[in-house]
């Protein structure tokens, strides 16, 4: 017997045929068994290894099925050419390397974090159980490509009552996050479109425009939001804006600028506004700011929002509202599109909204985040005038302007040395235009427990060597 094999381990829980199959497969991949080598007959190998012929037959059968050997009638088994298979196996081994995880900071002022301890698990669990009842078998099948009508109707009711958005359920398209829906809008609006983006602005959408080779022009933002007078000088036909709480500055688009922006959109055919209303639920000063879509008389606003801040980021449910005249074009552009959100999740959320739990949850969270914001501003008050707060009217982050000779990135690095994470505002700029003379950092507070906010601020100020006034 001129074939070398390690003896099988008869005490192992791994079946004998599988041990033999793996040993022979690895010998073929290593080249110990060269192409064209005739393997022993089942009887010979069974005798050599003191195994049953059935075990040998199962191992040979698996190797034949995977293309490592071939069976020749009335002749026997021969080793096949497997260079490509060996390469694939090598790639698998490379991919099996341990994942490298991002560093977890002891204090992280991430604006994307929410308060997970206040989530209404009991109600959510109840609706999840109801949806999984046997009578819901049809939810295992594909639903409407724009998302199930039950959820779209609840969304239409909610955004009308809370944001003044006027639409029907058929105008709503549901998808798994803004980053999945934005490419659909980009393709729908055409290849020749130039997009105006806020400067500074939301990096994720800027990357999406770049990934789809769409031209963008940066329009500066001030305390009243996007400078529409500057937009009018650009050759843009679509403006992407965050008017109710500009990201990252926190500015609110003023009433006069809202009218200017809507007039800009209606002045020429083919102009649109993408209104990203990502965290409008959390406003702490005055009445809620009405949506641009609700003010629009020319059907030029595409409204987009998400449940990431209002419920949970992992839910992965977002939506946009198309003007009625774009609806047919959308369906023709994406005839094979299916909603990327599982129907079970859609129906849990729809029932959660239908029975009023979503509104109650928002009311609770609005009060909670207002308290956290108060704790944050009180803690920072002690360090004035070395720091100045802005953008605190809404949302789950503020902008901190620091009276320092350091740059904002140097401040980020100083904080990092103390295992604290903050975010430099220059990282959100598309150009050097419009960068303030004093450094600014973005501070999120949603994920903190109330009692940890003041110590976190104290630690940050110590990292920057800023003393109390």
pLDDT at residue 160 greater than cutoff 90: yes
- Cα–Cα separations (whole angstroms), residue 458 to 73, 388, 391: 81, 15, 21
Q: Which residue has the higher pLDDT, 318 or 89?
A: 318
Fold entry, domain 16-95: Arc Repressor Mutant, subunit A (1.10.10)
Provide the pLDDT confidence category of residue 147 given band limits of 50, 70 and 90: very high
pLDDT confidence of residue 85 = 45
Q: Hey, where are the domains in the chain?
A: 16-95, 120-359, 361-463
User: What percentage of the chain carries pLDDT values higher than 70?
Assistant: 94
Farthest-apart Cα atoms in the chain, separation: 95
Region for residue 10 given its phi and psi (left: phi exceeds 0; alpha: psi -120 to 50; beta: otherwise):
alpha
Closest listed residue to residue 442, CA positions, set 253, 216, 201, 278: 201
Rounded to the nearest integer, the mean pLDDT of the chain is 88
- pLDDT bin (cut points 50, 70, 90) of residue 417 is very high
Q: What CATH class does 361-463 carry? A: alpha beta
pLDDT greater than 90 at residue 232:
yes
Q: What is the pLDDT of residues 332-373, one digit of tens each?
A: 999 888 888 999 999 999 999 999 999 999 999 999 999 999
Q: In sequence order, which ranges of 319-440 are alpha helices (DSSP H)?
A: 324-333, 343-354, 357-381, 408-417
Asked if pLDDT for residue 84 goes beyond 90, the answer is: no
Residue 134: per-residue pLDDT: 60
Residue 432, pLDDT above cutoff 70:
yes
d(CA 241, CA 273): 7
Phi then psi dihedrals of residue 38, to 5 deg: -85, 130
Query: Of the segments 55-59, 71-75, 194-198, 289-293, which one has the largest average pLDDT value?
Result: 194-198
3-state secondary structure of 343: helix
CA distance 339 to 327: 15
pLDDT at 83: 58
Q: CA 402 to CA 389: how far, in whole Å?
A: 9
Strands 238-241 and 194-199: parallel
Residue 91, pLDDT > 60, answer no
Instruction: Report in angstroms the alpha-carbon separations of 456 from 29, 247, 459.
Output: 56, 23, 5
Contact (CB, 8 A) for 166 and 293: yes
Q: In what order do the strands lie in the sheet with 423-424?
A: 387-390, 397-402, 440-444, 423-424
pLDDT above 90 covers a percentage of the chain that reads: 56
H helices of 83-202, in order, are 83-95, 121-131, 149-163, 178-189
DSSP 30-78: HTSS-TTPBPPPHHHHHHHHT--HHHHHHHHHHHHHTTSEEEETTTEEE
Strand, helix or coil for residue 319: strand
Question: Which candidate, 49, 54, 58, 53, places its Cα nearest to that of 22?
Answer: 58
The topology (CATH level 3) of 120-359 is: 3.40.640
Quick one: pLDDT at residue 100? Answer: 61
Report residue 98's pLDDT band, with 50, 70 and 90 as the boundaries.
low
Q: What is the CA radius of gyration of the chain?
A: 30
Q: According to the model, what pLDDT value does residue 96 have?
A: 57
The CA distance from 55 to 53, in Å, is: 5
DSSP string, 254-290: -HHHHHHHHHHHHHSTT-EEEEE-TTTT-B-SSSPPP
Task: Give 286: exposed, middle or buried? Use CB within 10 Å, 0-12, 13-18, 19+.
Answer: exposed
> What is the pLDDT, as a whole number, of residue 86?
45
Angle between helix axes 343-354 and 357-381 (nearest 10 degrees) is: 80
Whole-number pLDDT of residue 97: 60
């Amino acid at each position: 017997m001129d074939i070398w094999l390690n003896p099988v381990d008869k005490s192992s829980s791994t079946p004998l045929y599988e041990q033999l199959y793996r040993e022979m497969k690895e010998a073929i991949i290593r080249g110990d068994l060269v192409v064209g080598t005739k393997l022993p007959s089942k009887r010979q190998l069974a005798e050599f290894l003191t195994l049953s012929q059935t075990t040998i037959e199962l191992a040979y059968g698996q190797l034949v099925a995977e293309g490592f050997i071939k069976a020749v009638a009335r002749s026997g088994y021969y080793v096949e050419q497997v260079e490509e298979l060996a390469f694939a196996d090598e790639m698998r081994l490379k991919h099996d390397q341990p994942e490298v995880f991002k560093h977890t900071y002891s204090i992280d002022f991430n604006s994307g974090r929410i308060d997970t301890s206040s989530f209404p698990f009991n109600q959510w669990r109840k609706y999840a159980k109801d949806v999984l009842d046997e009578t819901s078998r049809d939810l295992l099948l594909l639903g409407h490509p724009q998302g199930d009508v039950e959820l779209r109707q609840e969304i239409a009711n909610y955004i009308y009552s809370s944001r003044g958005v006027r639409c029907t359920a058929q105008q709503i398209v549901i998808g798994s996050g803004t980053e999945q829906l934005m490419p659909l809008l980009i393709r729908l609006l055409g290849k020749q479109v130039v997009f105006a983006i806020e400067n500074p602005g939301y990096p994720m959408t800027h990357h999406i425009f770049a990934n789809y080779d769409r031209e963008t022009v940066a329009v500066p933002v001030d305390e009243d939001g996007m400078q529409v007078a500057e937009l009018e000088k650009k050759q843009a036909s679509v403006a992407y804006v965050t008017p109710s709480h500009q990201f990252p500055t926190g500015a609110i688009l003023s009433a006069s600028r809202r009218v200017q922006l809507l007039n800009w959109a209606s002045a020429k055919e083919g102009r649109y506004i993408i209104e990203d209303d990502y965290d409008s639920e959390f406003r702490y000063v005055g009445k809620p700011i009405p949506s641009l879509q609700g003010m629009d008389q020319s059907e030029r606003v595409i409204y987009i929002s998400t449940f990431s801040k209002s419920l949970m980021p992992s839910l992965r449910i977002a939506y946009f509202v198309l003007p009625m005249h774009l609806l047919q074009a959308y369906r023709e552009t994406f005839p094979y599109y299916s909603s990327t959100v599982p129907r079970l999740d859609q129906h849990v959320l729809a029932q959660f909204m239908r029975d009023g739990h979503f509104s109650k949850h928002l009311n609770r969270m609005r009060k909670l985040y207002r308290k956290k914001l108060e704790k944050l501003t009180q803690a920072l008050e002690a360090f004035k005038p070395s720091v100045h707060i802005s953008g605190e009217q809404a949302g789950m982050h503020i902008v901190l302007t620091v009276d320092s000779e350091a740059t904002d990135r140097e401040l980020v690095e100083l904080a990092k040395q103390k295992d604290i994470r903050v975010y430099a505002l220059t990282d959100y700029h598309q150009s050097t235009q419009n960068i303030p003379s004093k450094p600014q950092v973005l501070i999120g507070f949603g994920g903190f427990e109330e009692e940890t906010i003041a110590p976190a601020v104290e630690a940050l100020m110590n990292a920057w060597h800023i003393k109390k006034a």
